């Protein structure tokens, strides 16, 4: 099969398309013939070789976690999927997912049936980002209807799904991005928009119940400052929460790591099927343009998601 192989940790020049053996599945796994795979910032961070994730790989290094495709083979212990099912999921995160490939072996527990309303490209764009947004807002953020929630970087891969899920859960939602993304963020259902290049959130906002910060060091202290006492700050891109809590000891501040879950995807499927959650794919690229995809992600200027196909 064809796969995008990284010859060594470092820059995008180390990527090439190569023929590699098809994976052999274990009893609890299925083999997915991949129609599209997604990319996330975690991919380029892993590519550099400096993240803890990088140490878990052996050669040939195949990056990526997000896939959508059709089941080609089913392990002997798998009862909930059959050959021919269209599925999507985040495979094995944060262990190697080997997703930049024509075939991927995935634990059945990491997949869900693809909603029929989603294309394979949209489904491949979703898993890591949508699981992150869902777990941040519900499992960690405990968002309740009527609460005011700020989503920092509302136009990004995670943020654009966070805005829609927060809205679907009954929140009053404020999103931040630069002005070129205002119409997009409002189209997702945001009640208010703050252009961070023109205004600070501290000038515009205060007394919020929840902040979902997907932007990181640039925004985290502003995020903390606009919460009410006992408000919740859930971060995915900034880890030094002790510094945040020194500034605002009266809030709950937590950095989370997404976990894989076919069950969460099945819950999320209902929002997709009800039309409350749309996945924005800004570009579909051929697999041999993986370097371009990584470089665009590293710019931190992409809107929605980029996916690739063989």
Name the residues that contact ligand NAP, by CB under 6 A.
40-42, 128-129, 132, 152-153, 155-159, 176-178, 181, 196, 214-216, 218-219, 236-237, 256-258, 297, 300-303
d(CA 104, CA 35): 11
Q: Give min distance, CB of 129 to ligand NAP, in A.
A: 6
Q: Give min distance, CB of 61 to ligand NAP, in A.
A: 19
Q: Give min distance, CB of 152 to ligand NAP, in A.
A: 5
Q: Give min distance, CB of 157 to ligand NAP, in A.
A: 3
Nearer to ligand NAP (CB atom), residue 152 or residue 261: 152
**Which distant-in-sequence residues (6+ apart) come within 8 Å of 301 by Cβ?**
none
Nearer to ligand NAP (CB atom), residue 98 or residue 132: 132
Q: In the structure encoding, which two tokens stand for residue 203, read together?
A: 């000038």
Q: Which residue's Cβ lies closest to ligand NAP?
A: 156
Q: For 182, phi and psi rounded to 5 degrees?
A: -60, -50
Nearer to ligand NAP (CB atom), residue 11 or residue 216: 216
Nearer to ligand NAP (CB atom), residue 260 or residue 269: 260
Nearer to ligand NAP (CB atom), residue 152 or residue 225: 152
Q: Give min distance, CB of 172 to ligand NAP, in A.
A: 19
d(CA 232, CA 254): 8
Nearer to ligand NAP (CB atom), residue 25 or residue 293: 293
Q: Give min distance, CB of 2 to ligand NAP, in A.
A: 25
CA-based nearest residue to 227, from 152, 167, 281, 284: 152
Q: Are the CB atoms for 304 and 155 separated by under 8 Å?
A: yes
Helix/strand number for the chain, H first, E second: 10, 15
Helix residue spans in the chain (DSSP H): 41-47, 120-125, 127-134, 159-168, 182-187, 201-204, 220-225, 241-247, 262-273, 290-298
């Amino acid at each position: 099969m064809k796969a995008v192989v990284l010859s060594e940790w470092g820059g995008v020049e180390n990527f090439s398309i190569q023929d590699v053996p098809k994976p052999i599945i274990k009893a609890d796994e299925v083999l997915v013939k991949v129609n599209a795979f997604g990319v996330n910032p975690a991919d380029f961070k892993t590519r550099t070789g400096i993240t803890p994730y990088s140490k878990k790989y052996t050669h040939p290094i195949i990056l990526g976690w997000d896939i959508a495709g059709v089941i080609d083979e089913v392990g002997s212990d798998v009862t909930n999927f059959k050959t021919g099912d269209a599925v999507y999921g985040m495979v094995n995160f944060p262990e190697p997912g080997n997703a930049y490939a024509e075939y991927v072996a995935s634990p059945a527990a990491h997949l869900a049936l693809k909603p029929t309303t989603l294309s394979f490209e949209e489904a491949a764009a979703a898993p890591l980002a949508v699981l992150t947004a869902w777990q941040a807002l519900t499992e960690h953020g405990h968002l309740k209807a009527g609460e005011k929630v700020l989503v920092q970087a509302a136009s990004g891969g995670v943020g654009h799904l966070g805005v829609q899920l927060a809205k679907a859960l009954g929140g009053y939602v404020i999103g931040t991005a630069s002005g070129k993304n205002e119409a997009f963020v409002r189209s997702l259902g945001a009640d208010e928009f703050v252009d961070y290049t023109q205004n600070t959130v501290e000038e515009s906002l205060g007394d919020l119940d929840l902040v979902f910060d997907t932007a990181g060091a640039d925004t985290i202290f502003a995020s903390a400052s606009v919460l009410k006492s006992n408000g919740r700050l859930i971060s995915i891109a900034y880890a030094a929460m002790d510094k945040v809590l020194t500034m605002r000891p009266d809030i709950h501040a937590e950095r989370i790591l997404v976990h894989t879950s076919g069950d969460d995807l099945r819950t999320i499927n209902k929002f997709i099927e009800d039309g409350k959650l749309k996945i924005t794919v800004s570009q579909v690229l051929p697999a041999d343009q993986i370097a371009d995809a990584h470089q665009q992600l590293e710019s931190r200027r992409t809107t929605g998601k980029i996916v690739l196909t063989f």
